[in-house]
Structure 1
Amino acid sequence: MIKVLLVDDQALVRMGFTMMLNSQPDLTVVGEAGEGEQAVRLCHELRPDVVLMDLHMPGLDGVAATRRITAELPGMRVLALSTFDLDEYVVAALRAGAAGFLPKDISPEELVEGVRVVHRGESAVAPRLLTRLIGTFVRASRSPAMGVPPGLAGLTDREREVLVLIARGRSNGEIAQELGVSPSTVKNHVTSLFGKIEVRDRAQAVIVAYEAGLVSAGA
């Protein structure tokens, strides 16, 4: 059973999400929070597997709450929710440790699958939507003082190639086909490069690739 904590300042939104999630045999809503501070506290008390986090809230917003939760409870997965597809808060949440994000107007099926995906340790962001977001906000905000991300110099040529393809929105299967290798080989490369550049998932890996200048918007 996947335990979910809902965080949203609108009670009606929480009610709707609760109905969607509790209708599934493998999901259960263990608690609700109306603001960020309460969310952090309930994460410590209830230890949910996945936190559905609204990004736009008064007080401690979703980005700050995500940063605290992922720092204080590293095994906990946060799935950010935003009203807007292109929103600087989304990239900030990914930087803060969110495992992905979904727009609030998604279908019940997409919400349920998103929770399952992040619980499996994957990123619940459509690859091409992710690259559009990163290309819009990360590259625009990058300054030369940021330098090269740690660990990037230690990547092998093949790992760097895989990172570029991830940043261009390719799935592991697509990368395997493009490079002429097996999916398991690609998975091994992904695991290795994630460790070297110190990221937890594909979302953060894409940010590193853009910030390092390995890819650019539209490339």
Structure 2
Amino acid sequence: MVYFFESDVVKPPVTLFMGIDKYENEELIKWGWPEDVWFHVHKFSSAHVYLRLPYGQTIDDIPSAVLEDAAQLVKANSIEGSKMNDVDVVYTMWSNLKKTPGMDVGEVGYHHEKEVRKLHVPKRIKTTINRLNKTKRSEDVNFRAEREKRDRLEREDQKRKLREQKEKEKAEEKKRQDEAELKSYNSLFKNASMTSNTENTGYDSDDFM
């Protein structure tokens, strides 16, 4: 089961989502998307909140208002963090999450610490949480199927782009060949049709005595 929330601080609204428990978090860690940004309360247990970026966007493209909503949602869903006035929320791309065999269910590390961002959350803003909770919905998600579908569509798109690129290169090569052939023909025709006065040495008139 996954909880979904709509953040309308930007237009169009964006979706934030999190697993209902650590087992769902484990599935999200395993079958996340390269476009997913992961949020968690630093040094305390909390929900794993995700934001799925549009294809082509990066972590630097996230509006500050959306970061604030995600941070508030993470803090509100941390047993310890929700009781504290000041916490830090860390966030990074899903691809930077690292899972090793010795880790507990739902536990995760990082491949590169330098790629982890940190956001200070001084207090819980009830109006933000209330706004997000009004949009809350739950849904059963087949994480593996969703990821495999995403990857299949990406492969198909890459193949399409490759075909289009090859067709473009083929058309450009044919155009170059046609232009070269035309240039060669024009040059040949021009040379064949050119004559000089020195080539006409005889007379066309009759001789008279």
TM-based fold match above 0.5: no
Q: Which has the larger radius of gyration?
A: 2
Taking structure 1 as the reference length, what is the TM-score of the superposition? 0.20
Higher helix fraction (1 or 2):
1
